[in-house]
């Protein structure tokens, strides 16, 4: 069975939590595509060469979830050659037998426009900054908010595969939603699509 759930959205919108919950609930494989860009950035050296030589070992680094890695990932992600080097792996993962959930910025628009379910998960910049700040346990709030704004501007403003909702995506704004409520809405969507 091929069944792809594409989840896009800005940093700290809740898309990772929702993706993991969907994968668990429906027995789907999960790929956090942001980790690929984070691993490329943290490998150092020429980012294009790093993307072309990316290995499963690179995805196991302990520092990939740091604020620094996220910021660095956003910078290498503007390079079309980096994106191109990571495309085939993501496409194959998306269409693997048994179904998959992928979360990122361009899954429903570029990586898997044929996805059976597309969600665009978002929240206000202030809410996302607060989540990131609490989760990271480092930095100060004003700095994290400035980073969120800068990251949004870079991710939505780049020429190649910018962050945007696919025209056929369902938008889920989590600003005033609990995790449970957001997950329940996403599960209902997937369930309805699976039933056909
Ligand atoms: O989802 P994240 O915070 O781990 O992503 C880190 C950066 O990687 C993000 O700011 C932009 C880039 N990215 C991307 O360009 N395309 C994706 N599909 C996933 C992440």
pLDDT digits (tens, 9 = 90+) for 89-103: 999 999 999 999 999
| Ligand 1 contacts CB of residue 9 (under 6 A) | no
- The string of pLDDT tens digits covering residues 104-129 is 999 999 999 999 999 999 999 999 99
Q: What is the dihedral of CA 81, 16, 24, 118, to 10 degrees?
A: -70
Inform me whether the pLDDT recorded for 137 exceeds 90.
Answer: no
pLDDT of residue 66: 86
Confidence class of residue 135 from pLDDT cuts 50, 70 and 90? confident
Residue 11: other Cβ atoms inside 10 A: 24
Percent of the chain topping pLDDT 70: 100
Helical residues (DSSP H) of the chain, grouped into ranges:
15-26, 34-43, 47-52, 67-76, 80-94, 125-136, 141-157, 179-195
pLDDT of residue 46: 98
What is the average per-residue pLDDT within 19-34? 98
- The string of pLDDT tens digits covering residues 42-88 is 999 999 999 999 999 999 999 999 888 999 999 999 999 999 999 99
pLDDT of residue 53: 97
Number of domains in the chain: 1
Inform me whether the pLDDT recorded for 138 exceeds 80.
Answer: no
Q: Which atom of ligand 1 is nearest to the CA of 102?
A: 18
pLDDT of residue 9: 97
| Ligand 1 contacts CB of residue 132 (under 6 A) | no
Mean pLDDT of all residues belonging to the chain: 96
CATH of residue 175's domain is: 3.40.50.300
| Ligand 1 contacts CB of residue 99 (under 6 A) | no
pLDDT of residue 136: 77
pLDDT of residue 151: 93
Q: Which atom of ligand 1 is nearest to the CA of 16?
A: 1
Q: Among the listed ranges 124-128, 139-143, 155-159, 163-167, which one has the minimum average pLDDT value?
A: 139-143
Report CA(194)–ligand 1 centroid distance (Å).
28
| Ligand 1 contacts CB of residue 73 (under 6 A) | yes
What is the average per-residue pLDDT within 20-49? 98
Q: Please, which residues bridge with residue 31 across strands?
A: 102
Q: Which of 30, 34, 80, 112 to mutate to test the pocket of ligand 1 (most atoms within 8 A of CB)?
A: 34
Inform me whether the pLDDT recorded for 139 exceeds 90.
Answer: no
Full strand arrangement of the beta sheet holding 29-32: 29-32, 100-104, 4-8, 117-122, 170-173
Range of the domain at 15: 4-195
pLDDT of residue 196: 80
| Ligand 1 contacts CB of residue 8 (under 6 A) | no
């Amino acid at each position: 069975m091929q069944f792809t759930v594409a989840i896009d959205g800005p940093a700290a919108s809740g898309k990772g939590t929702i993706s993991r919950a969907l994968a668990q609930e429906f027995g789907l494989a999960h790929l956090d595509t942001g980790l690929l860009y984070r691993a490329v950035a943290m490998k150092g050296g020429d980012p294009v060469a790093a993307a072309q030589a990316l290995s499963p070992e690179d995805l196991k680094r302990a520092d990939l979830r740091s604020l620094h890695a996220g910021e660095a990932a956003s910078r290498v992600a503007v390079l079309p050659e980096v994106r191109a080097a990571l495309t085939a792996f993501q496409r194959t993962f998306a269409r693997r037998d048994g179904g998959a959930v992928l979360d990122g910025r361009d899954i429903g628009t570029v990586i898997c426009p044929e996805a059976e379910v597309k969600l665009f998960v978002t929240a206000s910049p202030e809410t996302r900054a607060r989540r990131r700040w609490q989760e990271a346990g480092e930095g100060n709030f004003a700095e994290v908010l400035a980073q969120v704004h800068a990251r949004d501007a870079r991710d939505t403003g780049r020429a190649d595969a910018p962050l945007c909702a696919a025209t056929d995506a369902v938008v889920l704004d989590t600003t005033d939603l609990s995790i449970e409520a957001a997950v329940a809405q996403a599960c209902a969507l997937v369930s309805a699509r699976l039933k056909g």
